Structure formats: C-alpha cells, structure tokens
C-alpha cells in the first residue's frame, strides 16, 4: 500500500449523505485535539492533507481520504465542552449513523492522548467498539511530550482505566518524531489482508 498516494476525497455533514461503502474504510476516532489530523498527515508524509488546529471544536464532518484505493475516515472529534447542544446531537447522530451502517471497516484506530486519563467519552466509545466487535487498535498520541518513565507509568494507568486493555492492540506514537508510525502502517496493511 502506497501511503503517499493520498488525496482528500469528501466531507459529509450528515450520514444520509454517505454513499454505500465500496472499499475498506480505516477509521480514526478520538476527542478534539487528540492528533487525528496530524496522524493522517504523518501517515501520508504530507504537511497539510488534513487540516490541523490548535483550536478544537470546528463544525463536525466525517472526512474521507483516499489512500491508494482505501479510505481513511476521519470521524468528528468529540468532547469539546463548549459545543452547543444541537451540535452534540448532530455529532451523536453522525457517529451512531456511521458505525451502524454496515460498512466495510477492517480497522478502527481509537486515539488517546498518552498524557491524560481517558475521558468518559473515550471509554464509552471503546466499550461500544468492543461490544460491536469492530477490530480495534488504540493509538496513544503525542508520546514525544513524555519521558520513557512517564510513558510506562501512564500505560499502567491505562491498563486500569481502559476496559479489556490486555486484549487490545495498542501503539505509542508521535506525529512529531514519527515514533510508532510504521507500526500503525503495518496494522493498517495487515487489516486489509
């Protein structure tokens, strides 16, 4: 799979606009600001394919990227406190709609900032994905911001806070340094076989 052969495909604001799934969709999900766009850019080796922002909470859309004939799907970030109620409802409808549509989803990458305890929303999402039997890999982002010792300490914390952690694949990564990126690529390729 040539990750460099990447282009933005389309953004959808309503699940009713989504076409039927025709090629495998590798999904990225996680709270606003966790590093989803940065990870997409790092995976494809480009600075600006996905828009990054230090300002979370932009309008939620599901963004599709075409990576060598496979879709990378960037789900809207959750957990932005100031989102209006109507926007939260639209978000819930988008997420529930997307995962409930019987799409071809070989892998879901669930991103969590390695520095922080997972939020209730992170845990809810992971529980939902396990329950619905989606192939799941947790990606701990921004590891460049912690020392090795702090990373190990936080992994112990995740063991205690994330349900079934011992049964879930995970990768520690950084879109700054590139750590873990090849492992994520390998998981993606494996999931397509």
Contacts to ligand GDP by CB under 6 A = 30, 32-38, 52-54, 56, 77, 141-142, 144-145, 174-176
Specify the residue, 16 or 54, whose C-beta has the smaller distance to ligand GDP.
54
- 16's contact among Mg ion, ligand GDP, none, with CB below 5 to 8 A by partner kind, is none
Measured distance CA(57)–CA(65) in Å, rounded? 20
Cβ proximity to ligand GDP: between 8 and 192 the closer is: 8
Backbone angle region of 126, left / alpha / beta, with phi > 0 → left and psi within -120 to 50 → alpha: alpha
Cβ of residue 70: shortest distance to Mg ion, in angstroms?
A: 19
Closer Cβ to ligand GDP, 24 or 56, answer by number:
56
Residues making contact with Mg ion (CB under 5 A): 36-37
The total of other beta-carbon atoms located within 10 Å of residue 127's CB is: 13
**Among 72, 101, 17, 49, CA closest to 184:** 72
Partner touching 141 among ligand GDP, Mg ion, none, CB below 5 to 8 Å by kind: ligand GDP
Angle at 43 between CA 133 and CA 132, to 5 degrees: 10
């Amino acid at each position: 799979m040539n990750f460099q052969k990447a282009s933005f495909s389309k953004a959808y604001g309503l699940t009713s606009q989504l076409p039927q799934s025709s090629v495998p969709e590798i999904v990225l999900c996680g709270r606003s600001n966790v590093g989803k766009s940065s990870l997409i850019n790092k995976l494809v080796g480009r600075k600006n394919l996905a828009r990054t922002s230090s300002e979370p909470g932009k309008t939620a859309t599901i963004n599709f990227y075409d990576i060598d004939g496979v879709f990378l799907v960037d789900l809207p970030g959750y957990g932005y406190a100031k989102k209006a109620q109507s926007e939260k409802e639209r978000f819930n409808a988008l997420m529930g709609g997307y995962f409930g549509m019987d799409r071809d989803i070989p892998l879901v990458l669930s991103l969590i900032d390695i520095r922080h305890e997972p939020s209730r929303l992170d845990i809810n999402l992971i529980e939902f994905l396990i329950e619905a039997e989606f192939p799941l890999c947790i990606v701990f982002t921004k590891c460049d911001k912690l020392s090795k010792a702090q990373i190990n300490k936080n992994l112990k914390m995740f063991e205690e806070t994330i349900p079934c952690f011992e049964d879930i694949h995970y990768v520690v990564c950084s879109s700054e340094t590139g750590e873990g990126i090849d492992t994520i690529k390998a998981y993606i390729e494996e999931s397509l076989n």
